[in-house]
Amino acid sequence: MSQLEESQMLKIIAATISVAMLIGIIPGCSESTDPRTPLVLPASYDSVGYSANTSGEYAIRVQMVALANLMKTGRTQGVAVSLADLNAAYEPLAPVTGEYYRLYVPGYLTELSTASGGSYDWQANPTATSSGGVYGGFLFQEHGLEMEQLVEKGLFAAALYNRAAVLMDGDVTATTIDRIVALFGAHASFPNTDKAASNPDKYAASYAARRDQNDGKGLYTQFKVASITAQAAAVAGSEYKTELNASLATMRQTWERALMATVINYTYAIVDGLSATTVTDAGRAGAMHAYSECVGFLHGWRAVKQSLRSITDSQLGILLGLLQAPADGPWTSYLIWQNPVSYLEKVRDARTRMQFIYGFTDVEMESFKTNWVATQNRQ
């Protein structure tokens, strides 16, 4: 999107907020009586002070990388991962993890450590003595779930979004907006690609970029524009609280929708991978990996206060149940690849329910199949 197009979008959003605010104050009135000076929106996000303001958030991002890298060592056949090391790597992240998910992570790390060093047989039903292991380059516990994904992807919502939501719920300043952008995984430059040579998108931002066609209307762009508006409103002062709150709401909604659009993307990968005429070990393992990402992304939202997310606990429970991975078990994930004819229909059902929950159009659902960063080779 060009700077001119972006500037025009910012003006449209500001005008829409102003009109909505006026209508709310004086129903039926068609003339503006707002005595305030209209909020002036810059063409781009102000990066002055961004690095200094986000040192704590970048420390969290570094800790996320360290934990993920340690968990990934278990993907190698015969390599055992120390539970003590896993717990130590997670310890710095525990304070920013929502209380609900904080109770689950230690168990997931124990499962990962127990499974490491072994081999996973996708055709075998788990027994009391099963412990899981490596299959197709990924580490699965005995029921077929990849604990690495339940921890890492679960923390996208349970830690990163949760921390941002807590910040949004408090006294929000321009510094706060910087911190929220960093937790989203973006940078003040908003590159809209995780392939950028400098300051590439990470975490939720990287997935929002993949779901964004770079046409000025996508989820990543919506988050960026809302961030610019929120920053401007915070700088302008308390008179612009309405604009600030509206922008924060947009940031939350697009963040959640981008991650849920990614869950939808992975449901297509699961169905396609396990419906192939010939399913290879690599294809099956890839589908199982995508499946575990779905479960992790979904479950983490339970750690976020209901007022700060769209999806309800009941809806999350239904989706996890359809995916054979209810929060408190029993997990029967292995049934999906052992009997895909019967169980892939439940994956499709979960996808349809997500479309309804978020109001995604059929065109959007089709778009979510594509990694637009890769397709457009955005650097």
In sequence order, what DSSP letters do the residues of 130-184 get, joined into one string? ---EEETTEEE-TTS--HHHHHHHHHIIIIIIHHHHHHHTS---HHHHHHHHHHH
What would you report as the CA-atom Rg of the chain, rounded to the nearest whole angstrom?
22
d(CA 76, CA 130): 19
The pLDDT of residue 29 is 41
CB atoms under 10 Å from CB of 336, counted, come to: 23
Place of tokens 């209307």: 217
pLDDT at 208: 98
pLDDT tens column, 223-270: 999 999 999 999 999 999 999 999 999 999 999 999 999 999 999 999
Residue 234: what pLDDT? 97
Q: Among residues 275, 281, 285, which one has the least CA distance to residue 343?
A: 275
- Of the candidates 73, 213, 205, which has an alpha carbon nearest to the alpha carbon of residue 148? 73
The CA-based angle 110-114-116, given to 5 degrees, is: 120
Mean pLDDT on 331-352: 97
Label residue 9 by pLDDT band (50, 70, 90). Answer: low
Q: Is the pLDDT of residue 5 over 90?
A: no
Cut 0.75: pTM above it: yes
Q: Once rounded to an integer, what is the mean pLDDT over residues 60-70? A: 98
pLDDT tens string 121-153: 999 999 989 999 999 999 999 999 999 999 999
* Sequence-separated (6 or more) residues with CB below 8 Å from residue 338: 122, 123, 125
Residue 17 confidence (pLDDT) above 50: no
pLDDT value of residue 157 = 98
| DSSP SS3 for 30 | coil
CB–CB of 204/185 below 8 Å?
Answer: yes
Nearest to residue 190, comparing CAs of 200, 177, 180, 204?
200
pLDDT tops 50 at residue 219: yes
Strands (E), the chain: 133-135, 138-140
Segment 260-282 shows an average pLDDT of 97
User: Residues 6 or more apart from 288 whose CB is under 8 A from it?
Assistant: 122, 135, 136, 138, 140, 144, 146, 333, 337
End-to-end Cα distance, the chain: 14
Average pLDDT over residues 309-330: 97
Residue with tokens 């769209």: 310
Query: In this structure, what token pair is assigned to residue 102?
Result: 């904080």
Domain boundaries, given as residue ranges, for the chain: 3-375
Residue 76 confidence (pLDDT) above 50: yes
Question: What's the CA angle centered on 31, arms 27 and 35, to 5 degrees?
Answer: 95
Residue 3 has pLDDT above 70, yes or no: no
pLDDT in tens, 154-212: 999 999 999 999 999 999 999 999 999 999 999 999 999 999 999 999 999 999 999 99
Report the candidate in 147, 258, 243 with the shortest Cα–Cα distance to residue 204.
258
Q: What percent of the chain has pLDDT over 70?
A: 91
Say what the pLDDT of residue 36 is. 74
DSSP per residue over 91-112, as a string? GGGGGGS-HHHHTTHHHHHHHH
Determine how β-strand 138-140 pairs with β-strand 133-135. antiparallel
Q: At what angle do helices 313-322 and 340-358 cross, to 10 degrees?
A: 160
Please determine, for residue 42, whether its predicted confidence score (pLDDT) is greater than 60: yes
Neighbouring residues of 206: CB distance < 8 A, sequence distance ≥ 6: 185, 194, 200, 373
For the chain, the residue count is 379
Kindly state the helix (H) or strand (E) to which residue 87 belongs, with its residue range.
helix 83-90
Strand partners, 119: 134
Residue type, 120: Y
Query: Does pLDDT of 115 surpass 80?
Result: yes
In the structure, what pLDDT confidence band is assigned to residue 34 with cuts at 50, 70 and 90?
low
